[in-house]
Structure 1
Amino acid sequence: MDDMVLALTLSAVSPAVGGVLIRGEKGTAKSTVVRALTTLLPPVTVLTGCRFSCDPAAPDPDCPDGPHPGGTSDNAHPGATSDATHSGGTSVTRPARLVELPVGATEDRVLGALHLERALRDGVTAYEPGLLASAHRGLLYVDEVNLLHDHLVDVLLDAAAMGRAMVEREGVSIAHAARFVLVGTMNPEEGELRPQLLDRFGLTVEVAASRDPSVRAEVTRRRLGYEADPDGFADRYAPADAERAERIATARRLLPSVRLDDDTLHRIATLCASFEVDGMRADLVTARTAMAHAAWSGRTWVTATDIRAAARLALPHRRRRDPFDPPGIEQERLDQALADAGLDQPDGPAPETDPPPQGPGPDGPDPGGPGGSPTPEDVERDVPGPVETQPASETSPAAETGAGADGPNGFRVPGDPSGPDGAEEPRHGREAAPTGGRALAADQPYRARLLVVPGIGAGAAGRRSPAVTTVGQTVRTTLPGAGPVGRPHLVATLWAAAPYQRLRGRRGPGLEVRPEDVRVPVRQGREGNLILFCVDASGSMAARQRMREVKTAVLSLLLDAYQRRDKVGLVTFRGNTADLALPPTSSVDVAATRLGDLPTGGRTPLAEGLLRAGEALRVERIRDPRRRALLVVVTDGRATAGSDAVPRSRHAARLLAAGGVRSVVIDCESGRIRLGLASALAGALGAEHLPLEQVAAGALTTAVRSRTDIRRPGAQASGRAA
Structure 2
Amino acid sequence: MTARYPFSAVVGHDDLRLALLLNAVHPGIGGVLVRGEKGTAKSTVVRALAALLPSVDVAPGCRFGCDPAAADPACPDGTHPVDEVRRRPARLVELPVGATEDRLVGSLDLERALTEGVRAYQPGLLAAAHRGVLYVDEVNLLHDHLVDLLLDAAAMGRAHVEREGVSVSHAASFLLVGTMNPEEGELRPQLLDRFGLTVHVAAARDVRTRAEVIRRRLAYEADSAGFAARWADADAELAERIAKARHALARVVLPDAELRRIAAVCAAFEVDGMRADLVVARTAVAHAAWRDADAVSEVDVEVAARLALPHRRRRDPFDEPGLDENQLAQALQDAAEHTEPDDDPEPPDGPGGGGSPEPEPGPDSGGPGDGAAPDTEPGGSGTASADQPPAVPAPAFRARLLEVPGIGEGAPGRRSRARARTGRVVRSSTVEGHGLHLAGTLTAAAPHQANRGRSGPGLVLRGEDLRRSVREGRESNLVLFAVDASGSMAARKRMAAVSGAVLSLLRDAYQRRDKVGMITFRGSGAELALPPTPSVEAAVARLRRLRTGGRTPLAEGLLTARRMLATERLRDPRRRPLLVVVTDGRATVGVGGDPVADAVRAAGLLAAEGVAAVVVDCEQGMIKLGLPARLAGALGAPCVRLAELSAERMAGVVRAARAA
- Asked if Structure 1 and Structure 2 have the same fold, meaning a TM-score greater than 0.5 normalized by the shorter chain, the answer is yes
1:515 Cα shift? Answer: 3.0
Aligned to 1:165: 159
Offset of residue 291 of structure 1:
1.4
Equivalent residue letter for 1:9: L
Equivalence map 1:93-242=2 (5 Å): 93-94=88-89, 96-242=90-236
SS at match of 2:494: helix
1:668–1:691 contact (8 Å) kept in structure 2: no
Which shows bigger deviation, 170-179 or 437-446? 437-446
Once the two structures are superposed, the pairs formed by residues 29-40 of structure 1 within 5 Å of their partners are 29-40=41-52
Read off the aligned partner of 2:44 and give its amino acid letter: T
Aligned to 1:440: 392
2:486–2:548 contact (8 Å) kept in structure 1: yes
- Cα distance in 2 for partners of 1:278, 1:13 equals 26
SS at match of 1:336: helix
Measure, in 2, the Cα distance between the counterparts of 1:648 and 1:241: 73
Give 1:360-371 correspondences, 5 Å limit.
none
Where relative contact order (Cα < 8 A, 6+ residues apart) is larger, the structure is 2
Cα deviation for residue 304 of structure 1 reads 1.0
Please name the residue that 1:478 is paired with.
429
Task: Summarize the Cα distance change of 1:187–1:508 in structure 2 as closer, same or farther, 3 Å threshold.
Answer: closer
Letter paired with 2:614: V
Deviations 1:134-185 (A, max 9, x none): 1122211111211212211111111111212221222222222212111111
Residues 1:545 and 2:486 are matched in the alignment: no
8 Å CA contact retained: 2:498, 2:642: no
Residues 281-680 of structure 1: pairs in structure 2 closer than 5 A? 281-321=275-315, 323=317, 326-342=320-336, 424=384, 426=386, 437-445=389-397, 448=400, 451-459=402-410, 465=416, 467-468=418-419, 474=426, 477-479=428-430, 482-490=431-439, 492-506=440-454, 511-520=459-468, 522=470, 529-537=477-485, 541-558=489-506, 565=512, 567-573=514-520, 578-579=527-528, 581=530, 583-585=532-534, 595-600=543-548, 607=556, 611=560, 615=564, 618-619=567-568, 622=571, 626-635=574-583, 638=587, 660-666=610-616, 668=618
CA contact (8 A) 1:532 1:584 kept: no
Residue 58 (structure 2) aligns with: 46
Structure 1 residues 472 and 28, CA gap change in structure 2 (3 angstroms) = closer
600-609 or 244-253, larger mean C-alpha shift:
600-609
Alpha-carbon distance between aligned partners in 2 of 1:662 and 1:34, rounded to the nearest angstrom: 44
Alpha-carbon spacing, 1:46–1:596, altered in 2? closer, same or farther (3 Å): farther
Offset, 1:257: 2.7
2: distance between equivalents of 1:307 and 1:699?
Answer: 35
The superposition leaves residues 488-532 of structure 1 with CA deviations (integer Å, 9 ceiling, x where unpaired) of 151x43442234333312356664232321224546787554422
- 2: distance between equivalents of 1:658 and 1:196? 40
Query: SS in structure 1 opposite 2:501?
Result: helix
Per mean C-alpha deviation after superposition, the further-off stretch among 632-641 and 175-184 is 632-641
Cα distance in structure 1, aligned partners of 2:277 and 2:76: 35
Decide whether aligned partners of structure 1 residues 54 and 451 sit closer, same or farther in structure 2, where only a CA change above 3 A counts: closer
| SS of 1:438 mapped into structure 2 | coil
Q: Do the aligned partners of 1:425 and 1:540 also contact (CA within 8 Å) in 2?
A: no
- Tell me the distance in 2 between the aligned counterparts of 1:698 and 1:234: 54
> Which residue matches 2:377?
none
User: Structure 2: any 5+ residue segments left out of the alignment?
Assistant: 1-12, 340-366, 369-381, 652-660
Deviation at 1:26, TM superposition (A): 2.8
Q: 1:507 to 1:138 in 2, by over 3 A?
A: closer
- Taking the aligned partners of 1:290 and 1:552, their CA distance within structure 2 comes to 39
Q: Which runs of 5+ in 1 are unaligned?
A: 71-87, 346-406, 409-421, 427-431, 703-722
What is the CA–CA distance in structure 1 between the aligned matches of 2:190 and 2:50, rounded to whole Å?
27
- Give yes or no for contact 1:568–1:591 (8 Å, CA) kept in 2: no
Q: Is the 8 A contact 2:436 2:466 kept in 1?
A: no
After superposition, what is the alpha-carbon deviation per residue over 1:263-295, rounded to whole angstroms, capped at 9, x for unaligned? Answer: 333332333334343333222211211111112
Tell which deviates more after alignment, 330-339 or 229-238. 229-238
Q: Which residue matches 2:87?
A: 92
Quick one: distance in 1 between partners of 2:262 and 2:625? 62
Work out whether residues 264 and 338 of structure 2, in 8 Å CA contact, stay in contact via their aligned partners in 1. no
Kept after mapping to 1: 8 A contact 2:521/2:527: yes
Quick one: structure 1 residues 134 and 524, their matched pair in 2 at CA, closer, same or farther if it must change by over 3 Å?
closer
- The percent identity for this pair of structures is 60
Q: Hey, what's the Cα distance between the residues in 2 that align with 1:567 and 1:113?
A: 32
Partner of 1:341, secondary structure, is helix
Report how far residue 551 of structure 1 moved.
1.6
SS in 1 for 2:120: strand
Q: What do residues 592-630 of structure 1 show as CA deviations (whole Å, max 9, x unaligned)?
A: 56534544457878757854775477558755x544221
One-letter amino acid matched to 2:404: V
CA distance in 2, matches of 1:691, 1:173: 45
Counterparts of 1:495 and 1:62, CA distance in 2: 29
Q: Secondary structure at the match of 1:555?
A: helix
AA aligned opposite 1:58: A
Using the TM superposition, give the Cα deviation of residue 188 of structure 1 relative to its aligned residue in structure 2, in angstroms.
Answer: 2.2
- Whether the 8 Å contact between 2:397 and 2:646 is mirrored in structure 1 is no
| Superposed CA RMSD | 4.2
Counterpart of 2:28 (choices 12, 16, 20) is 16
- Give the match's secondary structure for 1:64: coil
- The one-letter amino acid paired with 1:297 is R
Letter in 1 for 2:451: L
Structure-1 separation of matches of 2:216 and 2:526? 47
- 1:221 Cα offset (Å): 4.6
Q: Which deviations, in whole Å up to 9, do the C-alpha atoms of 1:411-434 show, x marking residues without a partner? A: xxxxxxxxxxx99454xxxxx6xx
Amino acid at match of 1:496: A
CA contact (8 A) 1:574 1:601 kept: no
Does 172-181 or 302-311 show the bigger shift? 172-181
Asked if the contact 1:98/1:141 (under 8 Å) is kept, the reply is yes
Whether the 8 Å CA contact 1:10–1:293 is kept in 2: the answer is yes
Q: Secondary structure at the match of 2:46?
A: helix
Shift of 1:66: 3.4
The number of residues matched between the two structures is 593
What CA distance in whole angstroms lies between the structure 1 residues aligned with 2:260 and 2:146? 37
TM-score by length of 2: 0.76
Aligned to 1:688, the other structure's residue is in SS state coil
Question: 1:89 deviation in Å?
Answer: 1.8
Aligned CA distance change for structure 1 residues 545 and 127 (closer, same or farther; 3 Å): same
* CA offsets 1:119-146 (integer angstroms, 9 cap, x no match): 2331222211111111122211111211
Q: Which residue of 1 aligns with 2:353?
A: none
